[in-house]
Each structure stands twice: as C-alpha cells, then as structure tokens.
Amino acid sequence: MASILQVKHLKVSFRTSSGTVKAVRDISFDLERGKTLAVVGESGSGKSVTSKAILGILAGNSIVEGGEILYDGKDLLKISEEEMCKVRGDKISMIFQDPLSSLNPIVKIGRQITEAMLLKNKGNRKAARKDFNNTLALLKQAMIAAQGQDSAAKVEEMVKTFDTFCIEGIKLENSYNQAADVAESIISHTEDFLFAAGKKRVDVKAELREVSDKLKRLKDPFLTKGYDEKIAHMAAQLDQLRVGYREPAKKKGEETVFQLPQEIRTALEQVEAELKQMMEQTRPNFFRIGYYKLKNPNENLTAKPVEQLNEEALKCLDSNFMLEFRSMVEQGLRHSFQTALEKKQAVLPQLEELKVFYTTGELEKGSAHSRAKAANALVQDSIDKLEIVKDSAAYTFGMALENTIDRYFMAKVRNPQEEERYAKQSAKREALIAKGKTVDWKVVPKTVYDLDEMKGDIVRVVDNLIERYQAYIAAAGEVDFAARTVELIDYFKLKASQVVNVVTKTMARERAIKLMEEVGIPEPRIRYNQYPFEFSGGMRQRIVIAIALAADPDILICDEPTTALDVTIQAQILELINRLKEERNLSVIFITHDLGVVANMADDIAVMYAGKVVEYGTVEDIFYDPRHPYTWALLASMPDLDTKEKLDAIPGTPPNMVYPPVGDAFADRNKYAMKIDFEQQPPEFEVSPTHWAATWLLHPDAPKVEPPKIITDRIARMRKAEGENA
C-alpha cells in the first residue's frame, strides 16, 4: 500500500507568556490511501495541533521546530503560502468540530458550498495546462533520447498530434458533459416538482419558465442528436402552457388542496421521459473521436451512429497512431527510468560521504551549505521526472537539508544568548528579593536547543534518502513499463479534461445540489437557498462535510466531527463518512476522544498523550491487546453496556507542557509507574509488526502487570460474544 501522507518527526511548540509550550513532541505516522487513521487522546494531547500543522493553519504564536509532512512530492511545512493554497481545501480538506462556528452565518449555504468549486476552477485550469505541457516536454525529451536524434522530427510531430487531438477530444467531451449535466438537472428538478405539486402550493409559472429555459440551452452535437426537434417542441409547448396558465383564485379562509392542471403534469412527465431516454444512449469515446476528427476534418461526425463512430475512430487511432505512439512512450519511459537509475547508483556513495561529513567533526556554516547544495543538485538530477507518483523524499531533499542546517546554526547562536538572558534575569530577580522587595514578575524559562539532536536531524534527512534509493534500486527489476505507459496517458487525459473544464455558476449549483443529496440532506433545492441557522445540528454538520467534499479532496481530516451531536445523528454521520470514503477512495484522519466511535471507523489508531504517540496499532491491536497504561486508562474510563463496577477515572490532569516531564509523561497519573518512568523516556517497543507502544512495561526486565480488570473482563466478553457469533 502506498502511503499518501507521511508525517515524520513533527515537533510544534507555542510561545506564550509563561514559556514555550511543547504541544507536539516528535510524532511520526503514515496515512495510507483509502484508509482511516484515528488519532485518540485527551484534549491538550496535541491531536488537533497535528491536524492543523498538516493544513498549515497553526496559530500565529506557533513554531514548527522540526520534522516533515510529505504529500505529493512536497513538504507541507516548508512550501510557500501560495503553494499551500493549492493543497489546502483542494487536496486536503477538514471537517471541524463545531459546525456552527465553521459556517458563515450571513451567507446562504448554497453559496458556501459552491464557493470552493468556483474559486478552485480557474487556478486549476492554469495549473493543469502547465502540468500537461511540462510533462509532455519531458516525455518528448525522453522519447528523442530513446529513439536517437534522427527520429527527433518524427517524435516532435507525434507529440504535437497527441497534444492537439487530446485537447480537441476533451473539448467535445466537456461540452457533452455540460449538456448531460443540464439534462440531469432538468430530470431531477421535474421529479421534485411533480412530487411537491400534489402536496403543497407551488409556483407553476416559475417552474415552467425554468424548465423551458433549460431545455432551450440543452444542445450538444452528440448528446441531443435526433432529439433537437423534440426538445424545441417541448420547450415551445411549455412556454405556451405558461402563458395560458392562470393561478386559481384564493378564497379567503378556505384551505383547498392545490391541484396541478393535468396538461401541465403530462407535459412535464413527457419531458422527463424523453430526457431519460436520451441519457441512456451509448456514450461516444471522445479521446478516439478527437483523433478521428483531426484526421478527417471535413467529415460530419454526427452523421454516423455513435457505436459505429466509436469503432471506426478506434481503428483509425490504433492503426495510424496509437500503437506506435504507445510503444515509443514505453521506450521513452524505460530510457528515462534507466538513466535515473544509473544516476541514483552514482549518487549513493556521495550521499554516504555527505552523511559522514555531517556526523563527524564540527560543522562550519559555509561548507555545510555548499555541500548540501552540491548534493541536492545531483539528487534532483537523478529523479525520474516522468514518474507520476512522486518520491517526496528526493524532491524535498534540498529544502529539508537546508532547513535543518539553518536551524542548527540558529540554535548555535541562540543558545548562549538565551543562557545569558536567563542568568541576567534570574540575577536581577534574586537581587530584588534579597533587597526585600516583592517581585511580581517571573523569569521567562529558557529554551535551549539540544545541538546533538539537531545534528541528528540533519543526518536523518540524508539517511532517509539513502534508504529510499536503496529500496528503489532493489525494486528496479520489477517495474511494469506497459502499465506505466497506460498510467501516463491517463494522466494526460486527466490533465486535458482539467484544462477544458469550465465550471459556471449554474453548473456549480447543480453539482452542489447533487452533493447535498449525497450527504443526505432532504429537499436540497429548497435547502440550497437557506441560511445556516435554519438547519439542525446534524444537518449543519452534513453541510460542513459537503463543503469539505466540494473540491474533491484526497485526504479528509475530521476533527471531532460528532462530539457535539447525539447518538443517532452521530451514527448517521459516521456511516456517511464511511460511505464517502469507500466511494471516493478517500484517506481519512479521524481525531476524537471517544474510543467507541473509533472502533467503527478506524483501520489504524494512534493514541496520543502529551504531544507524543504512546501506542500505535491496527484497530484490533488497540482494542483486543492494548499495552500502554494510558490506553488502558482511556478504555477503562468509559462505561459500556455491561459495566457494573466503579469506573477507573484517570486521576489528575495532563502535565504542563511548558515543562515537559523528563521521563514518561504519563508517569504521574499512572498507577503502574516504575522508578525508571520518572527518569527516562521509554523507547518504542514493538509488540507485533503493526503494533508498538512506548512504555517501560514492555521491557524484558519489567515486572509482568495485568491490565485493569474492567478491560480484561471486557476483552474476554468480546471474545466470547464473537465465539458465539462465529
């Protein structure tokens, strides 16, 4: 499984008047595509800070002290705000805890949902064109290199053809899709109207006008082929009916059931039936047709039946162009891969050398930077640019290296200054106290960085890349170039469709209504024009989810989405998130303090305490075989339906993170704490390949302890229940 998002050694702290609060202290995890990672812990354990760091929305007084968040070849901690804008909300979306405070109270919810679609569209088109052109240029280079200089002209020609027909075809497709959207909206709109008309008073004239307007707009050479006359006729008929329609007079004080005139009902039903029939036609394959059109510019494409056109276009494309082009692309890819591989092999010893350089001896600023630059140039050169799944470690190598080096030298300068300041202030304070004065201010605690640890950070960046490269070289024999070719061509198609994809306001509206239906909001057409205060809690949360999904993200971060809701609504929202995850292959980071919710949602669980992950494992590991005392405490403090005995509340409160404890942060509240827990931080002890916990209890020399009875009982009960079911 490929991980889509990697968080590595993230450290975040906040400057406050009482000192630096270390909110997140060195956490790492991987999020896999299509999986849910649950982050569990008390408030103040740093779970929300982690998610905010991923989105780049940390508060102003935060300092990212180190680490990387790798996504799609970028380090989200180091890219500029402008680049971050392209990721935030578009690729990574977030659902916040309180639905009311994340909606704008004075903007109708329809506009709030469509906002992201409209804003993103323009930027996306430009970016897609750039991606398309860049990748095509790289491909051209690789192909020429693979075929030799002689065939350069031919390659040039073919790439140009590909470019032209790809875009042409997608343009046709786009117009088809837009028309299909309109048709679909007419169908669903009419259905809604006919349903509502029997129940309450409706505005018949407005409805007829809207449907006929939409019908007049409905025109596409492929979609409405053979239906154009019918559509025009139906539109005219609706207009006529509209002119002839008279509102039934309303008598005072009399409630009459509203009846829709039969001829209007029939006309609308006919529209619905005709359009449904039209939508069931075979869909033309526009990628092929684009080429066909390029070859036969004068032919009337719409004259032939769609099936026949599809067939002929495929034959034309394959025999004249595609087979040859595909084999050439494959060769190009192979060539590009080989060159990259050779370069990588050549770069490896240099990286080893670099590692030694950073590990041994005193670092000197100038040489450290120049070595980093030189190494980065080599590394960037060794990247296979035609890879679609980008290797983040290589792309961000230079930046990460520079960053850690900068930090190291900054700390080197800062540390003595900080020491001096601290000594001065303390001396002043003591002098004042000695004089017998009352001192009403405190000495700001000193923040001294550990230089060895910072050096370790530099080395780790290099180490990380070396590991990646070794793995890459080891797997070199297994690359399937045919599959990669298909992937690459699909990538071009995707980018081309993004280039021509224009989202207008009406389209965005239809899409938003569809989305609202998808998240389970009844009567979306009416709801679209309402304000947030007109919705109940569960409905508001659904709208927030719809907004988060509007830009079609890869990753969804849910920050306690159901904490404010009651059981039935909570169950509905969780089911909804699970369903959307399946349908859209979303990766979800689910933050909560309720372990009951997690059992249903998560694939993996990270239990956080005081800014650290204390236990990590699959959902079954954590619930059936918990190892860390904090996980025990969390599990024991919530009653389930069979709990009778007194609850094991966790005594006390989480530690003050201005002065993080020396040893295990949980030691103070832990009844299993040993002496070493107060002195040294526990390392991560592996329980199974998918499960580890940071507690000294797992050390071979530690005394054997049993989890609290309440948990062992529950696990026994769960196992028994399962045995009965099986």
Partner 1 sequence: MSNHDNQEVLLKVEHLCQYFKMGDSELKAVDDVSFEIHKGEVFGLVGESGCGKTTTGRSIIKIYDITSGSIYFKGQRICAGTRSYTDEIARCRKQLKALGSGDAAKKAELEQRIATAREEMRKAKYDHKHSDAEYAATLVEKIQQEYAPKLESAKGDSAKLAALKKQMAEEIRIARKSKLITNIQMIFQDPIASLDPRMTVREIIAEGLVINGIRDKEYIDQKVYEILETVGLVREHAGRYPHEFSGGQRQRIGIARAVIMNPDLLIADEPISALDVSIQAQVINLLNDLREKLGLTILFIAHDLSVVKYFSDRIGVMHFGKMVELASSEELFAHPMHPYTKSLLSAIPLPDPRSEKKRVRITYNPLAEHDYSVDKPSLREISPGHFVHCNDAEEKAYREELGL
Beta bridge partners of 314: none
Contact 621, 689 (CB under 8 A): no
Shortest spacing between CB 192 and partner 1, in angstroms: 20
The single residue listed with the structure tokens 């409209």 is 118
Strands 555-559 and 92-95: parallel
CA gap 511, 114 in Å, rounded: 8
Q: Which is nearer to partner 1, 448 or 721 (CB)?
A: 721
Shortest spacing between CB 653 and partner 1, in angstroms: 6
The single residue listed with the structure tokens 């230089």 is 451
CA angle 242, 244, 248 (to 5 degrees): 90
Distances (CA, A) of 156 to 149, 159, 245, 326: 11, 5, 63, 14
Shortest spacing between CB 599 and partner 1, in angstroms: 4
Q: Which is nearer to partner 1, 574 or 693 (CB)?
A: 574
Q: Which is nearer to partner 1, 620 or 686 (CB)?
A: 620
Q: Which is nearer to partner 1, 475 or 649 (CB)?
A: 649
Q: Which two tokens stand for residue 140?
A: 């051209």
Q: Which is nearer to partner 1, 363 or 601 (CB)?
A: 601
The residues near 595 (Cβ < 8 Å, ≥ 6 apart) are 40, 623, 634, 635, 638
Q: List, as own/partner pairs, every contact residues 700-705 make where C-beta atoms lie below 8 angstroms and the sequence separation is at least 24, other chains included.
A: 702/674, 703/674, 705/672
Shortest spacing between CB 109 and partner 1, in angstroms: 20
Residue 53 φ/ψ, nearest 5 degrees: -65, -40
Shortest spacing between CB 3 and partner 1, in angstroms: 22
Q: Which is nearer to partner 1, 310 or 562 (CB)?
A: 562
Shortest spacing between CB 38 and partner 1, in angstroms: 11
Shortest spacing between CB 597 and partner 1, in angstroms: 5
Q: Which two tokens stand for residue 172?
A: 């046709």
Q: Which is nearer to partner 1, 17 or 298 (CB)?
A: 17
Shortest spacing between CB 696 and partner 1, in angstroms: 22
Contact 596, 608 (CB under 8 A): no
CA gap 701, 592 in Å, rounded: 34
Q: Which is nearer to partner 1, 43 or 61 (CB)?
A: 43
Q: Which is nearer to partner 1, 595 or 693 (CB)?
A: 595
Contact 621, 687 (CB under 8 A): yes
Q: Which is nearer to partner 1, 45 or 212 (CB)?
A: 45
What's the half-sphere exposure (Cβ side, CA atoms, 13 Å) at 526? 10
CA gap 347, 345 in Å, rounded: 5
Strands 3-16 and 19-32: antiparallel
Q: Which is nearer to partner 1, 204 or 565 (CB)?
A: 565
Contact 718, 641 (CB under 8 A): no
Strands of the sheet containing 62-71, edge to edge, are: 19-32, 3-16, 62-71, 74-75
Q: Which is nearer to partner 1, 328 or 665 (CB)?
A: 665
Q: What share of the chain is helix, strand, coil (3-state, %, to 5)?
A: 60, 10, 30
**DSSP helix/strand/coil, 10:** strand
**Helices marked H in 36-108 — which ranges?**
47-55, 81-87
Beta bridge partners of 576: none
Q: Which is nearer to partner 1, 620 or 679 (CB)?
A: 620
Shortest spacing between CB 650 and partner 1, in angstroms: 4
Shortest spacing between CB 572 and partner 1, in angstroms: 8
**Helices marked H in 360-450 — which ranges?**
365-381, 392-395, 397-434
Shortest spacing between CB 635 and partner 1, in angstroms: 6
CA gap 660, 667 in Å, rounded: 12
Shortest spacing between CB 718 and partner 1, in angstroms: 5
Shortest spacing between CB 642 and partner 1, in angstroms: 9
Task: List interacting residues with partner 1 (CB under 8 A).
Answer: 42-43, 536-537, 565-572, 574-575, 593-600, 602, 619-620, 623-624, 633-641, 643-644, 646-650, 653, 714, 718, 721-722, 725
Helix (H) / strand (E) containing 28:
strand 19-32
**DSSP helix/strand/coil, 332:** helix
